[in-house]
Protein backbone atom coordinates (compact mmCIF):
# COMPACT_ATOMS: atom_id res chain seq x y z
CA UNK A 1 0.00 0.00 0.00
CA UNK A 2 1.89 3.03 -1.24
CA UNK A 3 -0.94 5.39 -0.37
CA UNK A 4 -2.69 5.08 2.96
CA UNK A 5 -6.34 6.10 2.78
CA UNK A 6 -7.52 8.44 5.54
CA UNK A 7 -10.46 10.82 5.92
CA UNK A 8 -9.20 14.32 6.62
CA UNK A 9 -11.17 16.75 8.80
CA UNK A 10 -11.19 19.92 6.69
CA UNK A 11 -13.65 22.05 8.62
CA UNK A 12 -12.07 25.46 9.13
CA UNK A 13 -8.84 24.46 7.35
CA UNK A 14 -7.44 26.20 4.30
CA UNK A 15 -7.41 24.50 0.92
CA UNK A 16 -5.47 26.33 -1.77
CA UNK A 17 -5.67 25.67 -5.50
CA UNK A 18 -3.70 27.21 -8.32
CA UNK A 19 -5.40 27.14 -11.74
CA UNK A 20 -8.61 28.28 -13.38
CA UNK A 21 -9.34 25.79 -16.17
CA UNK A 22 -11.03 22.42 -16.51
CA UNK A 23 -8.76 20.56 -14.11
CA UNK A 24 -9.29 23.23 -11.48
CA UNK A 25 -13.07 23.06 -12.00
CA UNK A 26 -13.17 19.30 -11.60
CA UNK A 27 -11.27 19.45 -8.30
CA UNK A 28 -13.25 22.44 -7.01
CA UNK A 29 -16.57 20.68 -7.57
CA UNK A 30 -15.37 18.02 -5.15
CA UNK A 31 -13.70 20.36 -2.70
CA UNK A 32 -16.80 22.54 -2.44
CA UNK A 33 -18.52 19.59 -0.78
CA UNK A 34 -16.14 19.91 2.16
CA UNK A 35 -16.21 22.51 4.90
CA UNK A 36 -12.72 23.80 4.15
CA UNK A 37 -11.91 27.44 3.30
CA UNK A 38 -10.95 27.39 -0.35
CA UNK A 39 -8.69 29.95 -2.00
CA UNK A 40 -8.15 29.86 -5.76
CA UNK A 41 -5.27 31.57 -7.53
CA UNK A 42 -6.01 32.11 -11.23
CA UNK A 43 -5.19 34.90 -13.67
CA UNK A 44 -8.10 33.98 -15.93
CA UNK A 45 -10.58 31.93 -13.93
CA UNK A 46 -13.43 30.03 -15.57
CA UNK A 47 -16.85 31.70 -15.17
CA UNK A 48 -18.01 29.05 -12.66
CA UNK A 49 -15.16 29.97 -10.38
CA UNK A 50 -16.16 33.63 -10.61
CA UNK A 51 -19.71 32.69 -9.68
CA UNK A 52 -18.57 30.61 -6.70
CA UNK A 53 -16.44 33.56 -5.57
CA UNK A 54 -19.42 35.94 -5.85
CA UNK A 55 -21.55 33.49 -3.89
CA UNK A 56 -18.92 33.50 -1.16
CA UNK A 57 -18.21 29.79 -1.53
CA UNK A 58 -14.51 30.39 -2.17
CA UNK A 59 -11.97 33.19 -2.21
CA UNK A 60 -10.57 34.13 -5.62
CA UNK A 61 -7.22 35.85 -6.15
CA UNK A 62 -6.78 36.97 -9.76
CA UNK A 63 -3.04 36.55 -9.82
CA UNK A 64 -0.38 33.87 -9.99
CA UNK A 65 0.21 31.82 -6.87
CA UNK A 66 3.28 33.06 -4.99
CA UNK A 67 5.48 32.38 -1.93
CA UNK A 68 3.55 32.24 1.33
CA UNK A 69 0.17 31.87 -0.38
CA UNK A 70 -0.29 28.38 1.00
CA UNK A 71 0.76 29.15 4.57
CA UNK A 72 -1.32 27.21 7.10
CA UNK A 73 -3.05 25.37 4.25
CA UNK A 74 -3.84 21.71 4.80
CA UNK A 75 -3.97 20.87 1.11
CA UNK A 76 -2.64 22.41 -2.06
CA UNK A 77 -3.71 21.50 -5.59
CA UNK A 78 -1.46 22.43 -8.52
CA UNK A 79 -4.04 22.54 -11.31
CA UNK A 80 -2.60 24.86 -13.95
CA UNK A 81 -2.25 21.95 -16.39
CA UNK A 82 1.23 23.19 -17.24
CA UNK A 83 4.14 21.11 -15.97
CA UNK A 84 6.50 24.06 -15.49
CA UNK A 85 3.94 26.17 -13.63
CA UNK A 86 2.74 23.16 -11.60
CA UNK A 87 6.32 22.39 -10.56
CA UNK A 88 6.82 26.00 -9.48
CA UNK A 89 3.59 26.32 -7.48
CA UNK A 90 3.90 22.90 -5.86
CA UNK A 91 7.45 23.60 -4.70
CA UNK A 92 6.31 26.87 -3.11
CA UNK A 93 3.28 25.23 -1.47
CA UNK A 94 5.39 22.41 -0.09
CA UNK A 95 7.72 25.03 1.42
CA UNK A 96 4.63 26.58 3.05
CA UNK A 97 3.95 23.24 4.70
CA UNK A 98 0.91 22.10 2.71
CA UNK A 99 0.36 18.59 1.44
CA UNK A 100 0.61 18.83 -2.33
CA UNK A 101 -1.28 17.25 -5.18
CA UNK A 102 -0.35 17.92 -8.76
CA UNK A 103 -3.24 17.14 -11.07
CA UNK A 104 -2.40 14.22 -13.38
CA UNK A 105 1.07 13.82 -11.92
CA UNK A 106 1.01 10.92 -9.52
CA UNK A 107 4.77 10.63 -9.12
CA UNK A 108 5.28 14.16 -7.76
CA UNK A 109 2.12 14.27 -5.67
CA UNK A 110 2.17 13.74 -1.92
CA UNK A 111 -1.44 12.63 -1.91
CA UNK A 112 -4.03 11.65 -4.47
CA UNK A 113 -7.75 12.27 -4.57
CA UNK A 114 -9.66 8.99 -4.79
CA UNK A 115 -12.78 8.28 -6.78
CA UNK A 116 -15.56 9.01 -4.31
CA UNK A 117 -19.00 7.53 -3.78
CA UNK A 118 -20.80 10.18 -1.80
CA UNK A 119 -23.65 9.27 0.52
CA UNK A 120 -22.56 11.80 3.09
CA UNK A 121 -21.86 11.00 5.93
CA UNK A 122 -21.10 7.65 4.28
CA UNK A 123 -18.28 8.21 1.84
CA UNK A 124 -16.40 5.53 -0.02
CA UNK A 125 -12.98 6.32 -1.38
CA UNK A 126 -11.63 4.17 -4.20
CA UNK A 127 -7.98 4.27 -5.17
CA UNK A 128 -5.81 2.20 -7.47
CA UNK A 129 -2.57 4.15 -6.86
CA UNK A 130 -2.86 5.32 -10.43
CA UNK A 131 -2.69 1.77 -11.75
CA UNK A 132 -6.16 1.56 -13.25
CA UNK A 133 -8.39 4.63 -13.36
CA UNK A 134 -10.81 2.63 -15.53
CA UNK A 135 -11.15 0.09 -12.76
CA UNK A 136 -11.74 2.79 -10.15
CA UNK A 137 -14.48 4.27 -12.30
CA UNK A 138 -16.10 0.88 -12.83
CA UNK A 139 -16.07 0.15 -9.10
CA UNK A 140 -17.52 3.58 -8.42
CA UNK A 141 -20.32 3.05 -10.95
CA UNK A 142 -21.05 -0.35 -9.44
CA UNK A 143 -21.29 1.04 -5.90
CA UNK A 144 -23.33 4.04 -7.02
CA UNK A 145 -25.88 1.67 -8.47
CA UNK A 146 -25.86 -0.61 -5.47
CA UNK A 147 -26.11 1.85 -2.60
CA UNK A 148 -29.51 3.44 -2.18
CA UNK A 149 -29.57 7.22 -2.45
CA UNK A 150 -31.19 7.30 1.00
CA UNK A 151 -28.23 5.63 2.69
CA UNK A 152 -26.75 8.99 3.68
CA UNK A 153 -30.00 10.09 5.28
CA UNK A 154 -30.28 6.84 7.23
CA UNK A 155 -26.72 7.22 8.45
CA UNK A 156 -27.33 10.84 9.50
CA UNK A 157 -30.46 9.95 11.44
CA UNK A 158 -28.78 6.86 12.86
CA UNK A 159 -25.80 8.89 14.03
CA UNK A 160 -28.03 11.21 16.06
CA UNK A 161 -29.54 8.14 17.73
CA UNK A 162 -26.30 6.46 18.68
CA UNK A 163 -26.21 7.76 22.25
CA UNK A 164 -29.77 6.56 22.86
CA UNK A 165 -29.02 3.13 21.44
CA UNK A 166 -26.04 2.83 23.79
CA UNK A 167 -28.40 1.50 26.46
CA UNK A 168 -28.18 -1.77 24.56
CA UNK A 169 -25.19 -3.70 25.87
CA UNK A 170 -22.10 -3.40 23.69
CA UNK A 171 -21.36 -6.21 21.26
CA UNK A 172 -23.75 -8.49 19.49
CA UNK A 173 -27.03 -6.99 20.69
CA UNK A 174 -26.09 -3.49 19.74
CA UNK A 175 -24.78 -4.70 16.39
CA UNK A 176 -28.00 -6.60 15.69
CA UNK A 177 -29.99 -3.47 16.39
CA UNK A 178 -27.99 -1.39 13.92
CA UNK A 179 -27.94 -4.10 11.28
CA UNK A 180 -31.69 -4.27 11.57
CA UNK A 181 -31.94 -0.50 11.19
CA UNK A 182 -29.66 -0.10 8.19
CA UNK A 183 -30.62 -3.19 6.25
CA UNK A 184 -34.27 -3.76 6.92
CA UNK A 185 -36.33 -1.51 9.22
CA UNK A 186 -34.62 1.76 8.17
CA UNK A 187 -34.96 1.46 4.39
CA UNK A 188 -38.53 0.21 4.80
CA UNK A 189 -39.49 3.16 6.99
CA UNK A 190 -37.79 5.55 4.57
CA UNK A 191 -39.91 4.22 1.71
CA UNK A 192 -43.09 4.46 3.71
CA UNK A 193 -42.78 7.55 5.85
CA UNK A 194 -39.68 9.51 4.84
CA UNK A 195 -37.34 10.93 7.46
CA UNK A 196 -40.03 11.22 10.14
CA UNK A 197 -40.94 7.59 9.59
CA UNK A 198 -37.30 6.62 10.06
CA UNK A 199 -37.07 8.51 13.36
CA UNK A 200 -40.17 6.81 14.69
CA UNK A 201 -38.91 3.43 13.57
CA UNK A 202 -35.76 3.88 15.65
CA UNK A 203 -37.79 4.15 18.84
CA UNK A 204 -39.93 1.13 18.02
CA UNK A 205 -36.93 -0.87 16.96
CA UNK A 206 -35.01 -0.08 20.12
CA UNK A 207 -37.92 -1.12 22.31
CA UNK A 208 -38.12 -4.35 20.35
CA UNK A 209 -34.43 -5.11 20.71
CA UNK A 210 -34.42 -4.26 24.42
CA UNK A 211 -37.15 -6.83 24.90
CA UNK A 212 -35.33 -9.50 22.87
CA UNK A 213 -33.26 -11.87 24.99
CA UNK A 214 -29.58 -12.24 24.25
CA UNK A 215 -28.71 -14.67 21.48
CA UNK A 216 -26.88 -17.79 22.49
CA UNK A 217 -23.50 -18.86 21.25
CA UNK A 218 -23.43 -20.87 18.05
CA UNK A 219 -20.86 -22.67 15.95
CA UNK A 220 -20.93 -22.63 12.15
CA UNK A 221 -18.62 -25.18 10.53
CA UNK A 222 -17.88 -23.38 7.31
CA UNK A 223 -16.10 -24.51 4.17
CA UNK A 224 -13.69 -21.86 2.91
CA UNK A 225 -13.19 -23.53 -0.46
CA UNK A 226 -9.82 -24.11 -2.11
CA UNK A 227 -8.47 -20.57 -1.75
CA UNK A 228 -10.04 -18.29 -4.34
CA UNK A 229 -12.35 -15.99 -2.34
CA UNK A 230 -14.82 -16.06 -5.22
CA UNK A 231 -15.31 -19.75 -4.60
CA UNK A 232 -16.83 -19.06 -1.19
CA UNK A 233 -20.55 -19.67 -0.95
CA UNK A 234 -22.86 -16.77 -0.15
CA UNK A 235 -23.65 -18.54 3.11
CA UNK A 236 -19.98 -18.67 4.00
CA UNK A 237 -19.71 -14.92 3.34
CA UNK A 238 -22.69 -14.25 5.55
CA UNK A 239 -21.29 -16.40 8.34
CA UNK A 240 -17.98 -14.52 8.13
CA UNK A 241 -19.85 -11.23 8.20
CA UNK A 242 -21.61 -12.21 11.41
CA UNK A 243 -18.71 -13.91 13.19
CA UNK A 244 -17.40 -12.86 16.58
CA UNK A 245 -14.63 -15.43 16.44
CA UNK A 246 -13.11 -17.17 13.42
CA UNK A 247 -11.06 -20.27 14.14
CA UNK A 248 -9.36 -21.32 10.93
CA UNK A 249 -6.90 -23.89 9.72
CA UNK A 250 -3.69 -23.49 7.78
CA UNK A 251 -5.33 -23.96 4.38
CA UNK A 252 -7.45 -20.84 4.61
CA UNK A 253 -5.92 -18.03 2.56
CA UNK A 254 -5.37 -14.48 3.87
CA UNK A 255 -7.69 -13.12 1.16
CA UNK A 256 -10.54 -15.08 2.69
CA UNK A 257 -9.71 -14.08 6.26
CA UNK A 258 -9.87 -10.47 5.09
CA UNK A 259 -13.59 -11.00 4.57
CA UNK A 260 -14.28 -11.70 8.23
CA UNK A 261 -16.04 -8.98 10.17
CA UNK A 262 -13.43 -6.44 11.14
CA UNK A 263 -14.10 -6.81 14.85
CA UNK A 264 -13.94 -10.60 14.72
CA UNK A 265 -11.12 -12.34 16.59
CA UNK A 266 -9.10 -14.50 14.20
CA UNK A 267 -7.48 -17.58 15.64
CA UNK A 268 -5.10 -19.76 13.64
CA UNK A 269 -5.62 -23.27 14.87
CA UNK A 270 -3.29 -24.81 12.33
CA UNK A 271 -0.16 -22.90 13.16
CA UNK A 272 3.00 -24.81 12.55
CA UNK A 273 6.56 -23.62 12.65
CA UNK A 274 6.66 -22.29 16.19
CA UNK A 275 6.22 -25.52 18.07
CA UNK A 276 3.64 -28.17 17.33
CA UNK A 277 0.21 -27.25 15.98
CA UNK A 278 -2.79 -27.37 18.28
CA UNK A 279 -4.09 -30.81 19.12
CA UNK A 280 -7.62 -31.73 18.06
CA UNK A 281 -8.67 -31.72 21.66
CA UNK A 282 -7.30 -28.22 22.18
CA UNK A 283 -9.17 -27.04 19.09
CA UNK A 284 -12.42 -28.57 20.36
CA UNK A 285 -11.97 -26.86 23.72
CA UNK A 286 -11.17 -23.56 22.02
CA UNK A 287 -14.37 -23.67 19.96
CA UNK A 288 -16.48 -24.58 22.98
CA UNK A 289 -14.88 -21.95 25.21
CA UNK A 290 -15.81 -19.13 22.82
CA UNK A 291 -19.28 -20.38 21.97
CA UNK A 292 -20.09 -20.92 25.64
CA UNK A 293 -19.42 -17.23 26.21
CA UNK A 294 -22.18 -16.44 23.69
CA UNK A 295 -19.95 -15.86 20.66
CA UNK A 296 -20.98 -16.63 17.10
CA UNK A 297 -18.07 -18.88 16.20
CA UNK A 298 -17.09 -19.69 12.64
CA UNK A 299 -14.93 -22.79 12.45
CA UNK A 300 -13.45 -22.15 9.04
CA UNK A 301 -11.94 -25.09 7.21
CA UNK A 302 -10.21 -25.26 3.83
CA UNK A 303 -12.27 -26.79 1.04
CA UNK A 304 -15.34 -28.60 2.30
CA UNK A 305 -15.49 -29.22 6.04
CA UNK A 306 -16.89 -32.69 5.48
CA UNK A 307 -13.86 -33.87 3.50
CA UNK A 308 -10.86 -34.91 5.62
CA UNK A 309 -11.67 -32.13 8.01
CA UNK A 310 -12.12 -34.01 11.31
CA UNK A 311 -15.54 -32.42 11.36
CA UNK A 312 -17.32 -35.15 13.26
CA UNK A 313 -15.00 -34.92 16.23
CA UNK A 314 -15.66 -31.21 16.49
CA UNK A 315 -19.42 -31.57 16.05
CA UNK A 316 -19.53 -34.20 18.78
CA UNK A 317 -17.60 -31.98 21.17
CA UNK A 318 -19.81 -28.97 20.45
CA UNK A 319 -22.97 -30.98 20.71
CA UNK A 320 -21.74 -32.57 23.92
CA UNK A 321 -21.35 -29.08 25.37
CA UNK A 322 -24.98 -28.32 24.52
CA UNK A 323 -24.10 -25.71 21.88
CA UNK A 324 -26.04 -25.36 18.64
CA UNK A 325 -24.22 -25.74 15.33
CA UNK A 326 -24.69 -26.02 11.59
CA UNK A 327 -22.53 -26.89 8.59
CA UNK A 328 -21.95 -24.70 5.54
CA UNK A 329 -20.48 -26.80 2.72
CA UNK A 330 -17.59 -25.59 0.62
CA UNK A 331 -15.92 -26.45 -2.65
CA UNK A 332 -13.50 -29.26 -2.01
CA UNK A 333 -9.99 -29.37 -3.50
CA UNK A 334 -10.99 -32.23 -5.82
CA UNK A 335 -13.69 -30.12 -7.47
CA UNK A 336 -11.40 -27.14 -7.88
CA UNK A 337 -8.60 -29.34 -9.23
CA UNK A 338 -10.62 -31.12 -11.92
CA UNK A 339 -12.14 -27.78 -12.93
CA UNK A 340 -8.65 -26.42 -13.50
CA UNK A 341 -7.82 -29.21 -15.95
CA UNK A 342 -11.19 -29.22 -17.67
CA UNK A 343 -12.10 -32.74 -16.57
CA UNK A 344 -15.01 -34.32 -14.75
CA UNK A 345 -14.73 -36.38 -11.61
CA UNK A 346 -17.12 -38.91 -13.12
CA UNK A 347 -17.74 -39.66 -16.78
CA UNK A 348 -20.19 -41.91 -18.55
CA UNK A 349 -18.43 -45.00 -19.79
CA UNK A 350 -15.21 -44.26 -17.97
CA UNK A 351 -15.87 -44.17 -14.25
CA UNK A 352 -19.22 -44.22 -12.53
CA UNK A 353 -17.67 -43.73 -9.13
CA UNK A 354 -14.82 -41.69 -7.78
CA UNK A 355 -12.84 -42.11 -4.59
CA UNK A 356 -11.71 -39.38 -2.27
CA UNK A 357 -8.68 -40.76 -0.47
CA UNK A 358 -6.03 -39.47 1.85
CA UNK A 359 -2.44 -40.44 1.26
CA UNK A 360 -2.07 -41.29 4.95
CA UNK A 361 -4.91 -43.78 5.11
CA UNK A 362 -3.74 -45.57 1.97
CA UNK A 363 -0.92 -47.05 4.01
CA UNK A 364 -3.56 -49.17 5.72
CA UNK A 365 -5.20 -50.25 2.45
CA UNK A 366 -6.10 -53.92 2.03
CA UNK A 367 -5.11 -55.82 -1.13
CA UNK A 368 -8.60 -55.67 -2.55
CA UNK A 369 -8.67 -51.87 -2.25
CA UNK A 370 -5.49 -51.63 -4.30
CA UNK A 371 -6.79 -54.12 -6.83
CA UNK A 372 -9.99 -52.13 -7.32
CA UNK A 373 -8.14 -48.89 -7.70
CA UNK A 374 -5.68 -50.43 -10.18
CA UNK A 375 -8.45 -51.31 -12.66
CA UNK A 376 -8.45 -49.30 -15.91
CA UNK A 377 -10.64 -46.19 -15.91
CA UNK A 378 -10.64 -45.72 -12.13
CA UNK A 379 -10.42 -42.17 -10.86
CA UNK A 380 -9.33 -41.10 -7.40
CA UNK A 381 -8.67 -37.74 -5.82
CA UNK A 382 -5.85 -38.24 -3.38
CA UNK A 383 -5.58 -35.65 -0.61
CA UNK A 384 -2.39 -35.20 1.38
CA UNK A 385 -0.69 -37.60 -0.99
CA UNK A 386 2.63 -35.91 -1.70
CA UNK A 387 4.62 -37.74 0.94
CA UNK A 388 3.16 -41.13 0.09
CA UNK A 389 3.54 -40.85 -3.70
CA UNK A 390 6.26 -43.46 -3.99
CA UNK A 391 4.43 -45.90 -1.76
CA UNK A 392 1.17 -45.43 -3.67
CA UNK A 393 2.96 -45.93 -6.97
CA UNK A 394 4.59 -49.15 -5.79
CA UNK A 395 1.36 -50.68 -4.53
CA UNK A 396 -0.67 -49.76 -7.58
CA UNK A 397 1.87 -51.18 -10.00
CA UNK A 398 2.14 -54.31 -7.88
CA UNK A 399 -1.62 -54.75 -8.17
CA UNK A 400 -1.60 -54.45 -11.91
CA UNK A 401 -2.15 -50.77 -12.67
CA UNK A 402 -0.81 -49.60 -16.04
CA UNK A 403 2.41 -47.66 -15.66
CA UNK A 404 1.05 -45.18 -18.21
CA UNK A 405 -2.04 -44.36 -16.10
CA UNK A 406 -2.29 -40.57 -16.15
CA UNK A 407 -1.86 -38.66 -12.92
CA UNK A 408 -2.32 -34.94 -12.59
CA UNK A 409 -1.06 -33.05 -9.62
CA UNK A 410 -2.71 -29.73 -8.96
CA UNK A 411 -0.90 -27.51 -6.49
CA UNK A 412 -2.63 -24.47 -4.97
CA UNK A 413 -5.78 -25.15 -6.96
CA UNK A 414 -7.80 -21.99 -7.71
CA UNK A 415 -5.11 -19.69 -6.30
CA UNK A 416 -2.98 -17.26 -8.30
CA UNK A 417 0.03 -19.55 -7.85
CA UNK A 418 -1.78 -22.67 -9.08
CA UNK A 419 0.47 -25.18 -10.87
CA UNK A 420 -0.50 -28.25 -12.81
CA UNK A 421 1.81 -31.21 -13.25
CA UNK A 422 0.69 -33.81 -15.74
CA UNK A 423 2.52 -37.11 -15.34
CA UNK A 424 2.04 -40.89 -15.27
CA UNK A 425 2.09 -43.49 -12.57
CA UNK A 426 5.54 -44.49 -13.76
CA UNK A 427 6.98 -40.98 -13.60
CA UNK A 428 5.11 -39.73 -10.55
CA UNK A 429 7.78 -39.84 -7.82
CA UNK A 430 10.47 -38.42 -10.07
CA UNK A 431 8.32 -35.63 -11.51
CA UNK A 432 7.00 -34.83 -8.07
CA UNK A 433 10.47 -34.55 -6.59
CA UNK A 434 11.58 -32.29 -9.44
CA UNK A 435 8.52 -30.10 -9.13
CA UNK A 436 9.33 -29.12 -5.55
CA UNK A 437 5.71 -28.38 -4.76
CA UNK A 438 5.44 -26.60 -1.42
CA UNK A 439 1.74 -25.65 -1.41
CA UNK A 440 -1.23 -27.95 -0.80
CA UNK A 441 -1.47 -30.36 -3.71
CA UNK A 442 -4.08 -32.81 -4.87
CA UNK A 443 -3.27 -35.91 -6.88
CA UNK A 444 -5.84 -36.84 -9.50
CA UNK A 445 -5.28 -40.50 -10.23
CA UNK A 446 -6.56 -41.60 -13.65
CA UNK A 447 -7.02 -38.11 -15.09
CA UNK A 448 -4.92 -36.06 -17.49
CA UNK A 449 -5.66 -32.46 -18.46
CA UNK A 450 -8.24 -32.46 -21.27
CA UNK A 451 -6.38 -32.84 -24.57
CA UNK A 452 -7.81 -29.69 -26.11
CA UNK A 453 -6.43 -27.79 -23.20
CA UNK A 454 -3.13 -29.57 -22.98
CA UNK A 455 -1.36 -26.73 -24.74
CA UNK A 456 -2.45 -24.41 -21.98
CA UNK A 457 -0.65 -26.50 -19.46
CA UNK A 458 2.54 -27.05 -21.38
CA UNK A 459 4.06 -24.02 -19.76
CA UNK A 460 3.18 -25.19 -16.30
CA UNK A 461 4.65 -28.59 -17.03
CA UNK A 462 7.86 -27.11 -18.32
CA UNK A 463 8.07 -24.89 -15.33
CA UNK A 464 7.66 -27.85 -13.10
CA UNK A 465 9.87 -30.23 -15.06
N1 LIG B 1 -11.31 -30.16 3.58
C2 LIG B 1 -10.32 -29.97 2.54
C3 LIG B 1 -9.23 -31.00 2.58
C4 LIG B 1 -8.38 -30.99 3.81
S5 LIG B 1 -7.06 -32.13 3.76
C6 LIG B 1 -11.03 -29.97 1.16
O7 LIG B 1 -12.20 -30.27 1.10
O8 LIG B 1 -10.38 -29.60 0.20
C9 LIG B 1 -5.75 -31.15 3.13
C10 LIG B 1 -5.40 -31.54 1.73
O11 LIG B 1 -6.35 -31.02 0.83
C12 LIG B 1 -4.08 -30.99 1.22
O13 LIG B 1 -3.00 -31.80 1.67
C14 LIG B 1 -4.27 -31.11 -0.28
O15 LIG B 1 -4.09 -32.42 -0.71
C16 LIG B 1 -5.72 -30.78 -0.42
N17 LIG B 1 -5.95 -29.35 -0.74
C18 LIG B 1 -6.57 -28.43 0.00
N19 LIG B 1 -6.62 -27.25 -0.65
C20 LIG B 1 -6.01 -27.42 -1.82
C21 LIG B 1 -5.74 -26.60 -2.95
N22 LIG B 1 -6.09 -25.32 -2.97
N23 LIG B 1 -5.09 -27.13 -4.00
C24 LIG B 1 -4.73 -28.43 -4.00
N25 LIG B 1 -4.96 -29.26 -2.97
C26 LIG B 1 -5.58 -28.77 -1.90
61-73 in b/e form (b: 16+ CB < 10 A) is beeebeeebbeeb
Are 245 and 269 within 8 A, CB to CB?
A: no
Question: For domain 334-459, is the CATH number 3.40.47.10?
Answer: no
**What SS3 state is found at 269?**
coil
- The rounded Å distance from CA 252 to ligand 1 centre is 10
Protein residues with CB under 6 Å of any ligand 1 atom: 226-227, 251, 301-304, 307-309, 332-333, 337, 383-384, 410, 412-415, 440-442
- The rounded Å distance from CA 412 to ligand 1 centre is 8
Average pLDDT over every residue of 116-140: 91
The predicted structure's pLDDT at residue 463: 47
Q: Which is the closest atom of ligand 1 to the Cα of 414?
A: 22
Q: Which is the closest atom of ligand 1 to the Cα of 443?
A: 15
Are 231 and 284 within 8 A, CB to CB?
A: no
Under the phi-then-psi rule, with left for phi > 0, alpha for psi from -120 to 50, and beta for the rest, what region is 358? beta
Q: Alpha carbon of 162 to those of 9, 117, 140, 416, 423: distances in Å?
A: 21, 24, 29, 43, 62
CA quadruple 310, 315, 320, 321: dihedral sign: positive
Look at 205-219, 313-327, 346-360, 400-414 and tell me which has the smallest mean pLDDT.
205-219
Distance CA 425, CA 406 (A): 6
176-194 pLDDT, tens digit per residue, is: 899 889 888 998 898 888 8
- The rounded Å distance from CA 372 to ligand 1 centre is 24
Q: Which is the closest atom of ligand 1 to the Cα of 383?
A: 15
Task: Supply the DSSP string of 193-249, one letter for each residue.
Answer: HHHHHHHHHHHHHHHHHHHSPPPPPEEEEEE-BSS-GGGS-HHHHHHHHH-SEEEE-
Q: How high is the mean pLDDT of the chain?
A: 92
Average pLDDT over every residue of 26-48: 96
Structural class in CATH, domain 14-113: alpha beta
Return the number of other C-beta atoms located less than 10 Å from residue 404's C-beta: 9
335-367 pLDDT, tens digit per residue, is: 999 999 999 999 999 999 999 999 988 888 888
DSSP state letter for 437? -
Among 165, 183, 186, residue whose Cα is nearest residue 174: 165
Distance CA 404, CA 133 (A): 51
The predicted structure's pLDDT at residue 276: 62
Long-range contacts of 169-173 (CB under 8 A, 24+ apart): 169/214, 171/244, 172/214, 172/215, 172/244, 172/294, 172/296, 173/209, 173/212, 173/214, 173/215
Distance CA 143, CA 391 (A): 54
Please identify which of the residues 80, 244, 249, 431 carries the catalytic annotation. Answer: 249
Domains 14-113 and 218-331 share a fold: no
- The rounded Å distance from CA 225 to ligand 1 centre is 9
Confidence grade of residue 272 (pLDDT, cut at 50, 70, 90): low
Average pLDDT over every residue of 404-420: 96
Instruction: Give the start-to-end residue ranges of the domains of the chain.
Output: 14-113, 151-211, 218-331, 334-459
104 included as an active-site residue: no
The predicted structure's pLDDT at residue 132: 86
271 included as an active-site residue: yes
Please identify which of the residues 271, 293, 347, 363 carries the catalytic annotation. Answer: 271
Instruction: Classify domain 218-331 by CATH architecture.
Output: 3-Layer(aba) Sandwich (3.40)
Percentage of residues of the chain with pLDDT beyond 90: 80
Are 416 and 456 within 8 A, CB to CB?
A: no
Are 141 and 124 within 8 A, CB to CB?
A: no
The predicted structure's pLDDT at residue 456: 45
Mutate which of 222, 303, 439 to test ligand 1's pocket (most atoms within 8 Å of Cβ)? 303
Return the number of other C-beta atoms located less than 10 Å from residue 326's C-beta: 12
Mutate which of 440, 443, 445 to test ligand 1's pocket (most atoms within 8 Å of Cβ)? 440
Strands, E, within 244-337: which ranges?
245-248, 265-268, 296-301, 324-328
pTM reported for the whole predicted model: 0.69
Task: Supply the DSSP string of 326-369, one letter for each residue.
Answer: EEE----HHHHHHHHTT--SSBTTTBS--EEEETTGGGG--HHH
Q: Which is the closest atom of ligand 1 to the Cα of 333?
A: 8
Amino acid sequence: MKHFPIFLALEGRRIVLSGGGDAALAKLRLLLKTRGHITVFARSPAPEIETWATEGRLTLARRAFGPGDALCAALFYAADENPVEDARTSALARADGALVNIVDNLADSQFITPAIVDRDPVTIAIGTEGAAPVLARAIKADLEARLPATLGTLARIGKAFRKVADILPMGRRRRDFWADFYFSAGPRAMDQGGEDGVRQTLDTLLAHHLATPEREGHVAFVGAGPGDPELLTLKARKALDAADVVIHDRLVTPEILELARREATLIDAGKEGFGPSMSQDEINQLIIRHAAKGAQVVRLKGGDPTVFGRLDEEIEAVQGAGISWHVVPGITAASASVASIGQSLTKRGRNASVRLLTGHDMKGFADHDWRTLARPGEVAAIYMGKKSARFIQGRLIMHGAERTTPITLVENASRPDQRVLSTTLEQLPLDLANAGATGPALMLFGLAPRAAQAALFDNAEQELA
